[in-house]
Chain A
Amino acid sequence: MDTFLSLLLERARKSPDVPAFRTKQMGIWNLTSWSQARDQVSILAQALGQNGVEAGTPVGVFGPNATDFYLGYLAVQSLGGIVVPIGTNTFGEELGQQVHSADVEHVFAFEQQHVDALLECGQTCVKRIFYINGRGMENYTQPELMLLSDATEGIEASAAFLEQMEGQRNPQETATILFTSGTGRSERPVELSHGALIATARSIARRETITEKDELLAYLPLSVSSDFLFSFSLALTTGCTLNCPESDDTVLQNMQEIGPSVLFGPPYVYKYIYTHASNRIESARTFDTKIYKSALRAVMTVASHRAAGQKGSFTDWLLFMFARMTTFSPFCNIYGLSRLRLALTGGDAIAPDVFNFFRAIGIDLRETYGQVEGCACVTMQSSEDWNSDSVGLPLDDTEVRIENGEIWFRGPGQMKGIYKNPEATADSIKDGWVRTHDAGHLDDQGRLHVHGQIARMGSLNGGGAFASDMLETRLRSFEYIKQAIVLGDERDYPVAVVTVDGTITRTWADRRSLRYTGYADLSAHASVQEMIREYIQKVNEDLAEDPETSGMQFRRFAILNREFMASAGEVTPTRKLRCHEIEEKHRGLIDALYSDALEYTYTDPVDEESYTVPLGNV
């Protein structure tokens, strides 16, 4: 049985010179080999030990995706400490709450903005902040601050120290505390053990034969459980190289430079590439557009055959291969996807059109399903799954069952519990099974189908069933719609509040010579509203075909004057919508949707400007 420390030491022994981490700094990719990683971890661990970190101490790690922070994880864990990753976009009350509920006394932070956030978060439990970059902090006198290079001064690398520590570690120890995303329920600190994370990562690696030749890209906020699993844990268990981008704005460029072979991304990442490509095609020359569209048709035909389990004709197949070679192979190269042999998505339902697009152009995209409580991955599709409706089979030794329509699971990857909260733990784990608060069913092949959060399923006043998650996913399939929230539980009919994708809608509007001043003006434009209405009508027609969903047709919709934003507390770090907050915040708008009003005027608290949102009937 392994811990992350023993995995590191094993790598450093077996393949000392193989690159472990790569971070782009100052325009250059800097490599850290496994033996260098071990040396740096030993220095960091000794420094942390001297400052009071010991077994069971939660240590916050607050910074961007960079080698230093992943090494920080290992240093904390080698002392038996618990890593509490904090995303760089966390601040204020939310940060204070996380720091408080995980008892964080020590924090490993990057630079001024993180130190400021910690000092201002209103919690006094933090006793020591190590920071890496002291720029702009010359006048800071707080006693808890310590420059990391001061803390490590004079300490020498010692493999023996780590080996000694290795003997004291055991896989049942908590490796990390991660927070549930809090889309529905409040955020809860979930304890995950070394053993659970390693078992989950190994299970994925075994299925897909991920080896040390693979390249990963770590770009999701550290606090996201999928980053802990698909970046850190996967890199340690398989020995593949973890690449960290230069900054948040350069992820796409860096992805192209690295050409990752395995990539995990929440649905918004794939939607972004899909929309970005559509936008470029929209603004291309007519001839190019025609070629692209016919190539897309060729690959989509075959993909839909495969999804339906039919055998297509030989001509179709020929066209399919031709289109892939001539159009989509260069396409993948532009986006840095050409070496990608395994693309994973999860954390939210992916829009079917986006999924089909990637499968058709030759990206082996798989849906996964998982929760923080299950190390971020419980089930995973295989490469034969050409449909986005299921999320595949459970991982090795993992079982899934449905009770009263709710999904429960158990297996090696399940959590230890909710940190210092036995009641919540008892509520989440019953007889060894972990509840998910999601509804779903298993099909005859044992694959799991997820319907959405139970809390978000309900019924319309007329008595018809209502599932907002499913409806939102359908709306998001449209490249012009960026975000969508659907309401209808205990109401007369379903309504939608959507936001449009600024980039592609602008291109669309420019082509039609529409006049607008900015995003808010564009989103309120009659033509944009008409375009969205047409799409929602199409969704309604699809819904009408199935008797189970025919009652869920939209009657009214609104296009918001801005996107839902993380800074307004409306979006989680993986860009899922926080429905409760949005419902609270936009109550007036929602009430207006349930009246006959054709527009709604309000003062947006974000910029304190007044906006008029047109309300549309479908």
Chain B
Amino acid sequence: MAAGNPILQIDNITLAFGGVTALNGISFDVAEGEICAVIGPNGAGKSSMLNVINGVYVPQEGRVVFKGQDCTRMRPRQIAQLGMARTFQNIGLFQGMTVLENILTGRCMKIRSTWLEQGLNIGRARREEVENRRAVEEVIEFLHLQGIRKTPVGKLPYGLQKRVELARALVAEPTMLLQDEPMTGMNLEEKKDMSCFALEINREYGTTIVLIEHDMSVVMDISDHVVVLDYGAKIGDGTPDEVKNNQDVIDAYLGVTH
């Protein structure tokens, strides 16, 4: 997917927890329709960056601009309503609920009917129920989850749970999708599937994707744009090829004697 104007602008973000500076003056842009990977060694501040973007953490300094709106101080829910969805590093699903029910929860932003209408199953509530189910079914088909529609999530293997989580994020019809380590703990085949899904989502729905990933081969294969963090600072930013040849990045990953 060809990259367009910046949809997300990270401007000089500084985030500190007490004496620890997790992010130190980070700035980068994410263009509309691209797949942007945020990489870096453990503790580099990648997850913190993602949490700043979707409003879980409020940075001490700097601005996050999403679709032209300053959302630095917005709550996660408000940001979600702007069209941002995310998946988590350690799976955040309702273990006792079925796959179908879990994915349906991703539609809660789309519900306009009141609890009274829903309780009585009248008016908008009825129409919305059909609409939501259809949206869920489309995503189920997209991610090939038909076989486990009615299976409780807790019974599924890890790789499939990750896919269900992605489905739940996707069903909210986001313009931007944040994925925190979507491929950790997966075997080769699952990783391949997950990469294909990321590419297909990007191409089919035009969704901008920001993902954190450790697996370099995956990152280099699928992303258009790579941002490298180390000790809370940005040390690289560019196309996969540029980043691969960046001496700072090589040092950070392979380690150098100081």
Task: Name A residues whose Cβ lies closer than 8 Å to a Cβ of B.
Answer: 26-28, 135-136, 138, 246-247, 249-250, 253
Chain A residues with CB under 8 A of B21: none
What B residues does A28 contact at CB under 8 A? 137
Residues of A within 8 A of B149 (CB): 27
Q: Is B53 an interface residue (CB 8 A)?
A: no
CB contact between B138 and one of A26, A136, A138, A253 (< 8 Å): that residue: A26
Does B192 have its Cβ within 8 Å of any Cβ on chain A?
Answer: no
Give the residue name and chain of the A residue nearest to B203 (CB).
Answer: A136
Interface residues on B, range: 10 to 19
Q: Which residue of the partner chain A has the closest CB to B196? A: A136
Cα–Cα distance between A249 and B160 once the two chains are bound (Å): 14
For A135, the closest partner residue in chain B by CB is: B204
The verdict on B155 contacting chain A, using a C-beta distance below 8 Å, is no
Contacts of A26 in B (CB 8 A): 134, 137-138, 140-141
Query: Does B241 have its Cβ within 8 Å of any Cβ on chain A?
Result: no
How far apart sit A135 and B141, CA to CA, in the bound complex (Å)?
Answer: 12
Interface centre among A27, A246, A253 (most CB of B within 10 A): A27
- Let me know if B144 and A247 touch, CB within 8 A: yes
Having A27-B133, A135-B204, one finds 8 other A-B pairs with CB under 8 Å, namely A26-B137, A26-B140, A28-B137, A138-B203, A246-B146, A247-B146, A250-B146, A253-B147
Q: Looking at the assembled complex, report how far the CB atom of B26 sits from the nearest CB atom of chain A, in whole angstroms.
A: 35
State A136–B146 Cα separation when bound (angstroms): 20
Contact (Cβ within 8 A) B134 A249 = no
- B136 and chain A: residue at smallest CB distance: A27
- 19 A-B pairs within 8 Å (CB atoms) are namely A26-B134, A26-B138, A26-B140, A27-B133, A27-B137, A27-B146, A135-B204, A136-B200, A136-B203, A136-B204, A138-B203, A246-B146, A247-B144, A247-B146, A247-B147, A249-B146, A250-B146, A253-B147, A253-B150
Measured between alpha carbons, how far is A138 from B134 in the docked complex, in Å? 24
Q: Least Cβ distance of B243 to chain A in Å? A: 26
> For chain B residues 133-170, which have a beta carbon within 8 Å of chain A?
133-134, 137-138, 140-141, 144, 146-147, 149-150
Q: Note all chain B residues with C-beta closer than 8 A to A27.
A: 133, 137, 140, 146, 149
Residues 60-99 of B, flagged 1 when their CB comes within 8 A of A and 0 if not, give 0000000000000000000000000000000000000000
CA distance A28 to B100 in the complex (A): 14
A249 to B147, CA, bound (A): 5
State how many angstroms separate the Cβ of B133 from the closest Cβ of chain A.
8
Q: How far is the CB of A398 from chain B (nearest CB, A)?
A: 40
Closest residue of chain A to B133 (Cβ to Cβ) is A27
Closest residue of B by beta carbon distance from A251:
B147
CB within 8 Å of A: which B183-210 residues: 200, 203-204
Determine the distance from Cα of A135 to Cα of B199 in the docked complex, in whole angstroms. 13
Q: How far in angstroms is the closest Cβ of chain A from B95? A: 21
User: Which residues of chain B come closer than 8 Å to A135, judged between CB atoms?
Assistant: 204
Q: Which residues from A are CB-within-8-Å of B203?
A: 136, 138
Residues of A with C-beta under 8 A to B204: 135-136
**In the complex, which of the residues A26, A28, A138, A246 has the most CB atoms of chain B within 10 Å of its own CB atom?**
A26
How distant is the Cα of A246 from the Cα of B140 in the complex, in angstroms?
12
5 smallest A-B Cβ distances: which pairs?
A249-B147, A26-B137, A247-B146, A27-B137, A246-B146
Question: Once the chains are docked, how many angstroms separate the CA of A135 from the CA of B144?
Answer: 14
Docked Cα-Cα span, A136 to B203, in Å, equals: 8
The residue in A28, A138, A253 that gathers the most chain B C-beta atoms within 10 A of its C-beta is A253
Measured in the bound complex, the distance between the Cα atoms of B137 and A247 in whole Å is 14
B134 surroundings in chain A (CB, below 8 A):
26
Give per-residue flags for B98-141: 1 if the beta carbon is below 8 A from chain A beta carbons, else 0.
00000000000000000000000000000000000110011011
How many whole Å from A30's CB to the nearest CB in chain B? Answer: 12
Residues of B within 8 A of A246 (CB): 146
Q: Which residues of A contact B137 (CB under 8 A)?
A: 26-28
Q: From A247, which residue of chain B is reached at the shortest CB distance?
A: B146
CB neighbours (8 Å) of A250 from chain B are 146-147
* Complex: chain A residue closest to B150, CB-CB: A253
Chain A residues with CB under 8 Å of B138's CB are 26
Shortest A595–chain B CB gap in Å is 35
Q: Whole-angstrom distance from the CB of B132 to the nearest CB of chain A? A: 12
Query: A94 CB to closest chain B CB, in angstroms?
Result: 22
Q: How far is the CA of A178 from the CA of B239 in the complex (A)?
A: 51
Give bound CA distance, A28 to B137, whole Å: 10
Bound: A135/B149 CA distance, A? 22
Task: Tell me, in angstroms, the Cα distance from A27 to B200 when the chains sit together.
Answer: 22
**Which residues from A are CB-within-8-Å of B146?**
27, 246-247, 249-250
Closest residue of A by beta carbon distance from B144 = A247
CB A520 to nearest CB in B, in angstroms, measures: 14
Residue in B133, B140, B146, B204 with the greatest tally of chain A CB atoms within 10 Å: B146
Within 8 Å CB of A249, what residues of B?
146-147
**Distance in angstroms between the alpha carbons of A249 and B140 in the assembled complex:** 13
**CB nearest neighbor in B for A249:** B147
- Measured in the bound complex, the distance between the Cα atoms of B138 and A28 in whole Å is 12
Which residues of chain B are near A136, meaning CB under 8 Å?
Answer: 200, 203-204
* A28, closest chain B residue (CB): B137
What residues on A are CB-neighbors of B150 within 8 Å? 253
Q: Report how far A135 CA is from B200 CA in the complex, Å.
A: 9
